[in-house]
């Protein structure tokens, strides 16, 4: 069983989804199966994370094909923790969905639960795979489910928002496919560990094509992660579906893009990161500013939060662009904090919309009176996003800024600090307009079972702040592991593998 643990996060949701498809129409049963299956998965992933804490790199060869030929799954500290985060976020979203009844009976009956399992399978696959074409396939699994979830229930707004979302991501997939093709043409391999052996040895035209491929892949991941020039689909797409779905998207879907940037950037392009790093840092800084300025102008709450997704992704991409151990560690820590906080804020926004029956902040008002607990939770989450001590966001921004100073990137680091102020401003705006002031309409009964998931997520974020040191140590270890590409080569291809000992498929064919 232990040997098969790496493939479990893919097979388990798939099996659950298929099972759920057979329970069509029986919402109660679907809820129970979904919940039990997710809890089981979380237990397995905690065990898996514990195993990965030793620094092992788990490799699973699908169909037992030897490494550079077959598809391999590989897991390290970062992927193990991302798996866990994805499942916890999914659990929170699903629990919220049926505890709050916000999805509506029809959406739940028509495959909300199987779709959540399918998207989780795609996300987990993307976190686990060690093969770049396989990464493309997992992206498609994830995206196809996300297309369905965005348009599920089919109101006019959801359908209208669905088309650009689909078009942009489909376009991204085409670039991905072309980049993978070029990569294969130049190197003759698709296995990431094998690629990390081949890429440093490339010269002349091949090296130039490789640079171009690297940038193409970053564009693809940038579209998924919604960084500055490629973010335009997100503020329209994410607020359209019900809160539970946009919370999962806001928490996890964009992080898959960042995760792939980290994975491909360190492993495949480890040798030639100078140009890539410069581009990523600039793009990151611009995302922070443009995203937060977009957020400041908004009054529709989930649209506002969607702009914050862009700005927070900027921090991640900037930290990654440093390509130092401290930078990567900061990115890992930031990702932990931010996945949880963003998901909780989207859920809180859902509750606020639920209570006031409005999605416009200017029409809310007086929520403090109706829902004091919610106000407290928002207070923690909002200040955490803005980076105020003692919440987790402070530590996350702190490590990013320290890493920036260490590399003498004063301008970008300054942008990171300024963005923090604007974030605080827009959180104050939500607080001011929605929680304070007079009631501007009838309010519903505030406390429901579904709000427990908000509590769960916020307490996670508080935990991150309280145990900053061990979590940060973990992030540093994960970063060190990411930079040691030789370890991946040893684990995947075996001891003593070099670029010349393994045949590259079409090199000889030429």
**Under the rule (CB under 8 A), what is the footprint of another protein?**
133, 137, 140, 143-144, 147-148, 151, 154-157, 159-164, 166-167, 170-171, 173-174, 177-178, 180-182, 184-185, 236, 299-300, 360, 362, 505-506, 509-510
Three-state secondary structure call for residue 59: strand
φ, ψ dihedrals at 75, nearest 5°: -135, 140
> Residue 163 Cβ, how far from another protein at the closest point, in Å?
6
Output 237 or 314, the one with its CB closest to another protein. Answer: 237
> Residue 134 Cβ, how far from another protein at the closest point, in Å?
10
DSSP character for 419? H
Q: Find out whether the peptide bond into 390 is cis, omega within 30 degrees of 0.
A: yes
| Measured distance between the N- and C-terminal CA atoms of the chain, rounded to whole angstroms | 43
Hey, which residues does 60 pair with through a beta bridge?
73
Handedness of CA 463, 342, 16, 242 (dihedral sign): positive
> Residue 465 Cβ, how far from another protein at the closest point, in Å?
36
Output 98 or 139, the one with its CB closest to another protein. Answer: 139
Output 104 or 185, the one with its CB closest to another protein. Answer: 185
> Residue 488 Cβ, how far from another protein at the closest point, in Å?
22
Output 301 or 348, the one with its CB closest to another protein. Answer: 301
Nearest one of 88, 84, 82, 93 to 115, comparing CA atoms: 93
Nearest one of 353, 264, 274 to 321, comparing CA atoms: 274
Output 137 or 424, the one with its CB closest to another protein. Answer: 137
Q: What does each C-alpha distance from 107 to 9, 163, 244, 436 come to in angstroms?
A: 25, 19, 12, 33
Output 26 or 160, the one with its CB closest to another protein. Answer: 160
CB contact at 8 A, 124 and 271: no
> Residue 188 Cβ, how far from another protein at the closest point, in Å?
9
Output 211 or 406, the one with its CB closest to another protein. Answer: 211
Q: What does each C-alpha distance from 44 to 9, 60, 73, 92, 280 come to in angstroms?
A: 8, 16, 17, 17, 35
> Residue 428 Cβ, how far from another protein at the closest point, in Å?
19
Output 161 or 305, the one with its CB closest to another protein. Answer: 161
Q: How far apart are CA 47 and CA 469, in angstroms?
A: 22
> Residue 3 Cβ, how far from another protein at the closest point, in Å?
27
> Residue 316 Cβ, how far from another protein at the closest point, in Å?
27
Q: How far apart are CA 363 and CA 358, in angstroms?
A: 7
Which residue is listed with tokens 């859920």?
A: 347
């Amino acid at each position: 069983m232990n040997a098969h643990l790496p493939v479990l996060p893919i097979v388990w949701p798939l099996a659950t989804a298929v099972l759920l498809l057979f329970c069509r129409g029986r919402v109660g049963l679907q809820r129970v199966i979904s919940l039990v299956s997710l809890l089981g998965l979380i237990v397995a992933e905690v065990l898996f994370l514990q195993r990965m804490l030793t620094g092992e790199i788990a490799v699973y060869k699908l169909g037992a094909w030897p490494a550079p030929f077959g598809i391999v799954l590989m897991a390290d500290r970062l992927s193990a923790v991302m798996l866990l985060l994805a499942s916890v976020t999914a659990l929170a979203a699903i629990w919220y969905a049926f505890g709050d009844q916000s999805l509506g009976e029809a959406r739940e009956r028509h495959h909300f639960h199987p779709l959540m399992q399918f998207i989780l399978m795609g996300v987990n696959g993307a976190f686990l795979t060690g093969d770049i074409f396989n990464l493309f396939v997992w992206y498609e699994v994830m995206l196809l489910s996300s297309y369905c979830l965005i348009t599920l229930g089919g109101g006019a707004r959801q359908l209208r928002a669905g088309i650009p979302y689909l078009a942009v991501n489909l376009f991204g997939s085409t670039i991905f496919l072309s980049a993978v093709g070029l990569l294969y043409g130049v190197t003759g391999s698709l296995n990431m560990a094998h690629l990390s052996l081949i890429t440093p040895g490339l010269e002349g035209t091949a090296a130039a094509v490789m640079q171009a491929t690297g940038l193409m892949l970053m564009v693809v991941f940038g579209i998924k992660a919604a960084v500055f020039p490629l973010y335009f689909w997100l503020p329209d797409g994410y607020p359209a579906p019900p809160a539970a779905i946009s919370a999962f998207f806001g928490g996890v879907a964009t992080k898959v893009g960042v995760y792939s940037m980290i994975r491909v950037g360190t492993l495949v392009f480890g040798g030639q990161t100078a140009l890539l790093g410069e581009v990523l840092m600039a793009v990151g800084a611009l995302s922070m500013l443009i995203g937060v300025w977009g957020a400041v102008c908004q009054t529709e709450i989930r649209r506002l939060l969607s702009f914050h997704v862009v700005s927070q992704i900027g921090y991640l991409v900037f930290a990654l662009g440093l390509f130092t151990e401290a930078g990567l560690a900061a990115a890992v820590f930031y990702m932990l904090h931010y996945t949880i906080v963003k998901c909780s804020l989207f859920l809180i926004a859902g509750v606020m919309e639920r209570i006031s029956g409005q999605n416009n902040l200017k029409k809310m008002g007086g929520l403090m009176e109706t829902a004091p607990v919610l106000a407290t939770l928002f207070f923690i989450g909002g200040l955490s996003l803005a980076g105020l001590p003692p919440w987790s966001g402070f530590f996350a921004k702190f490590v990013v800024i320290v890493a920036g100073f260490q590399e003498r990137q004063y301008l970008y680091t300054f942008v990171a600090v300024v963005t923090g102020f604007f974030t605080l401003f827009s959180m104050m705006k939500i607080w001011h307009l929605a929680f304070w002031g007079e009631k501007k309409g009838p309010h519903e009964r505030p406390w429901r079972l579904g709000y427990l998931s908000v509590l769960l997520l916020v307490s996670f974020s508080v935990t991150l702040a309280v145990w900053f040191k061990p979590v940060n140590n973990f992030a540093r270890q994960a970063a060190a592991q990411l930079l040691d590409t030789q370890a991946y080569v040893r684990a995947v291809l075996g001891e003593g593998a070099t670029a010349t000992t393994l045949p590259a498929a079409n090199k000889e064919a030429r």
